[in-house]
Chains A and B, each alone.
Chain A
Amino acid sequence: MSLLALTLACRCVFQLFYSFFKSLVGKDVVVELKNDLSICGTLHSVDQYLNIKLTDISVTDPEKYPHMLSVKNCFIRGSVVRYVQLPADEVDTQLLQDAARKEAMQQKQ
């Protein structure tokens, strides 16, 4: 039960990015990690910690990471992500701004 309590505690943090990434599920993204590894793949799922699951991945940089050659799907812990490169036409910036405003409003309350 303590596991449940712990997981529930994370709910109060804002869900803007989770909501945002959810809308990108199924699209191709490039995730750059803090260890400079860049992985290109299809966004399969995301959770509230912004852990990312990618399918059908390929390492974008010239393959200086040969150990990734055989990997098809991967799970990336949210805390190690530096950037996520998105397709621009899949993002509604105006909506994102509104969502951020709402988020800020909620947080104040």
Chain B
Amino acid sequence: MSDSEQQQNAAQECAPQWPEKGEEWSDVEDGTEMDCGLLQAMAEEDEEINVYNEETFGMDLDSHGTTDGPGDDLQFGKPSPPTPPPPDPKPPSPRRVPSPPRQKPQYLPRTAPGHRGRFRGQRGGLGRGQMFEDPAVMRIVEGRPSIKSLDSAIVDYGSAMIRSNFEYDRLSPSYRKTRRISGSVLQDSAIVCVIGHRGRGQHLNSSFMDFPYPASTFRGRRGEPRGSFSRRQFGHRGPSQMHAPMAPGSPVFSRQPLTPRQLYNQPLTPKMMQLRFGANSPRPSPFYSPSSNPVQHLRYPGPVTQLHPQHKRLLTQKQRMFQRKLEGWDPYCNLMTGKEKEWIIRLQMIQLQSENPYLEDYYYQEYYRRKEAKMAEEELGIRSKREPPKLTTPYITKTDTYTPVVHIEGSLGQVAVSTCYSPRRAISAVHAVQAQSPHEEQKDTRQQRLEILSKIEKLFIVLLEVEETERMKTTVLSEAEEKRFMEKTQRKVAHIYSQLQHHPDSGGEFLPFLLVSKGKKLVARLLPFLQRDSALNVLCIVTSNLPTLMSRDSDEALPVLYPPLRNVIGGLTFSQLIGLLKDLMSSESLTTFECLTLACQNKFGLSLLYALLSHGEKLLSSGVPLEPSIGDFETWTDVIFQVAGQLSQCSLVEPLLLPSNLLTLFCRYLDKRTVHQLKSNMESATAFLALPS
């Protein structure tokens, strides 16, 4: 009764005669009918298998006449091998029909025994030989493109639905044949639902509509055996997938559910275990599933990818713009089920979980946070402020910690624990700093520059911490903590400031740093944190050394300083302003004319000058008591005249910002003609007309 025996027997058959030996072959009535309707046979393969299942596992009370023991049950019930067997080439002749199933380890070795009577009744005349067709063999689907989609890998249900756009011809048997069962790694290829023939009106089971019915997203399978089994695993998503099946008339309904008992007779495949692994994870909505719309132009990176809400919004906008109808059915697109894909993706995502996303995923989080803030700002004018979207934090908190150094009781010394997070350090790279004697006169300029750059980098780190604390301050509410943060911040800021101020043997405070573009950026970002007088000091330095700064600004990085300096200027008193203007006019022992010429031809310089003048005008016209020092007003008028003369003569560059009250200022002191000339000169440089404030 072994397989080999039967194989021999089968092989001996020249005609489709079943071997007479063995109890299995007791029924010989149909033995001679070997139909050549292979297509049909294959198409109805599963039907038989299912029937066999029911019968073997106790549903059917027909006497089998078989002595198949539980071993056979197992053998039969063993689901498909983990990898879908290659589509069996159709046997060239009917004769060979019996043999392939024999060689397959499982499928239908025992179908024949005793069931033929049933089959006959049900299949209405199909040759018995066909029941031995390999269920894994692709069936030819009439009118539908891909056979390969009906591999024992399961065609995605979702895609099938979408393919038909929910308007499939329900009565079309061909459609049904290509129906797919989603999430069906569990599904035996032998039990792959044969949709058509079953659904052909025979067993439209309205009970399918009942939800209490085992959450059979596996429609039409009489793999309802899995029904209750699957409910345990997929019950939570049963309803979600029921929506689609709820399309009326969906044909795939099982005939009758198998009892749960049958489930346990079937051995669990590795696949089942794998699915169990992922089954409890939240099931994404069908929309997000990549399998549901394979040819969508732009889809989500997968159900498990966590996107910043801003990012999500941008993507959905894009998606809406680029949606287009499906271009065609890709026969290779659904070799893995959605569940399998998710499982893999989830596995990969495990390692990306972090308990500190803002730190480890800094660029992404910060980028979209800023984008969001920007868009919120824009929208502020348009509509009332919406509630800020809450960022879903998908990240878990890791509770397991590791101790890098472990001391074992009774041992000498310590054991360094090397984990994947902290591999043992064999070499510690020490930052080599060359100690230069302070008396050395000639320093390599390159060395010096490197030193400065390295110092800037160190200070940048501190600055980043400061900014980080500042950002967190908005969330922290308690007073004591806030004070603590403030103190820490101030300490750090003071540290940076002092470091910038005093650089050994380089000219002037701040200057060496300001000459480097990175240093300019550092200062620009530091300025908002500085105290009033410190900031003023920086401004003084900048103004006094303006020509140098302008001439050595090859990267054109100076404009980065403009916004913070403008803020500082906004807080100046009149005397301070006058002082600055004086500095500007006579910086570095150049004549006023030269200074002004240089300033006019540099974007930053001109903008700075404008800003100063504009602030002066604001002060004067605001009516606030100015408390000027002696000679301030004279200096002021002097400046006005000199600047006006300069501005009207030389060509101006476009400033970063043209204050609107400048012309008013000039009107007050100058005659109309001069003002007019000034105006035209200034406006020729700028794109827009300065409206008098």
| B361 in the interface (beta carbon within 8 A) | yes
Per-residue interface assignment for chain B, residues 343 to 371, with 1 indicating a CB less than 8 Å from any chain A CB and 0 otherwise = 00001101110000001111111111010
Cβ contact within 8 Å between B315 and A25: yes
Cβ contact within 8 Å between A12 and B350: no
Contact A56:B364 (CB < 8 A) given known A48-B352, A94-B521: no
Min CB distance B224 to A, Å, is 33
Cβ contact within 8 Å between A92 and B370: yes
Tell me the bound Cα distance from A18 to B311 in angstroms: 15
Per-residue interface assignment for chain B, residues 402 to 438, with 1 indicating a CB less than 8 Å from any chain A CB and 0 otherwise = 0000000000000000001111000000000000000
Binds B, one of A61-69, A79-87, A98-106: A98-106
7 A-B residue contacts at CB 8 Å?
A7-B350, A18-B361, A23-B367, A45-B301, A53-B301, A95-B370, A101-B464
Tell me the bound Cα distance from A45 to B304 in angstroms: 11
Min CB distance A3 to B, Å, is 7
Chain B residues near A18: list those with CB within 8 A: 352, 361
Chain A residues near B347: list those with CB within 8 A: 3-4, 7
Interface residue ranges of A35-88 to B (CB < 8 Å)? 42, 44-45, 47-48, 53, 55-56, 72
Q: Please, which residue of chain B has its CB at the minimum distance from the CB of A14?
A: B360
| B567 in the interface (beta carbon within 8 A) | no
Chain B residues near A45: list those with CB within 8 A: 301-302, 305
Query: Which of B348, B352, B364 has the most A CB atoms < 10 Å from its CB?
Result: B364
**Interface size bracket, A side:** 35 or more
**Interface size bracket, B side:** 35 or more
Min CB distance A69 to B, Å, is 14
Tell me the bound Cα distance from A11 to B362 in angstroms: 15
Contact A98:B420 (CB < 8 A) given known A4-B350, A23-B367, A55-B297: no
Cβ contact within 8 Å between B359 and A44: no
Give the contacting residue for B351; candidates A25, A48, A56; CB below 8 A: A48
How would you classify the secondary structure of chain A's contact residues: helix, strand, loop or mixed?
Answer: helix
Cβ contact within 8 Å between B359 and A106: yes
Chain A residues near B314: list those with CB within 8 A: 26
Cβ contact within 8 Å between A72 and B295: yes
Tell me the bound Cα distance from A48 to B349 in angstroms: 9
Min CB distance B373 to A, Å, is 13
Chain A residues near B422: list those with CB within 8 A: 12
Tell me the bound Cα distance from A72 to B333 in angstroms: 12
Tell me the bound Cα distance from A48 to B457 in angstroms: 27
| B57 in the interface (beta carbon within 8 A) | no
Cβ contact within 8 Å between A92 and B295: no
Apart from A42-B298, A92-B370, list 13 A-B contacts with CB within 8 A. A5-B420, A19-B363, A19-B364, A20-B363, A26-B314, A44-B299, A47-B352, A53-B301, A94-B521, A96-B363, A102-B359, A102-B362, A106-B360
Cβ contact within 8 Å between A19 and B351: no
Q: Please, which residue of chain A has its CB at the minimum distance from the CB of B362?
A: A99
Tell me the bound Cα distance from A19 to B254 in angstroms: 48
Tell me the bound Cα distance from A49 to B361 in angstroms: 15
Cβ contact within 8 Å between B350 and A25: no
Chain A residues near B298: list those with CB within 8 A: 26, 42, 44, 55-56
Q: Please, which residue of chain B has its CB at the minimum distance from the CB of A45?
A: B301
Interface residue ranges of A1-38 to B (CB < 8 Å)? 3-5, 7-12, 15-16, 18-20, 22-23, 25-26
Per-residue interface assignment for chain B, residues 284 to 322, with 1 indicating a CB less than 8 Å from any chain A CB and 0 otherwise = 000000000001011101100101000100110010000
Chain B residues near A55: list those with CB within 8 A: 297-299
Give the contacting residue for A8; candidates B351, B361, B366; CB below 8 A: B351
Cβ contact within 8 Å between A12 and B363: no
Cβ contact within 8 Å between B457 and A22: no
Query: Which of A20, A26, A47, A56 has the most B CB atoms < 10 Å from its CB?
Result: A26
Query: Which of A19, A42, A94 has the most B CB atoms < 10 Å from its CB?
Result: A19
Contact A16:B351 (CB < 8 A) given known A26-B314, A98-B464, A101-B460: no
Give the contacting residue for B348; candidates A7, A42, A106; CB below 8 A: A7
| B461 in the interface (beta carbon within 8 A) | yes
Query: Which of A8, A12, A102, A106 has the most B CB atoms < 10 Å from its CB?
Result: A102
Tell me the bound Cα distance from A10 to B351 in angstroms: 8
Cβ contact within 8 Å between A101 and B457: yes
Min CB distance A7 to B, Å, is 5
Give the contacting residue for A92; candidates B297, B348, B367, B457; CB below 8 A: B367
Chain B residues near A101: list those with CB within 8 A: 457, 460-461, 464
Cβ contact within 8 Å between A12 and B364: no
Tell me the bound Cα distance from A18 to B359 in angstroms: 13
Cβ contact within 8 Å between A19 and B361: yes
Tell me the bound Cα distance from A47 to B349 in angstroms: 9
Cβ contact within 8 Å between B366 and A99: yes
Q: Please, which residue of chain A has its CB at the minimum distance from the CB of B306?
A: A22
Min CB distance A4 to B, Å, is 7
Cβ contact within 8 Å between A16 and B421: no
Cβ contact within 8 Å between A9 and B367: no
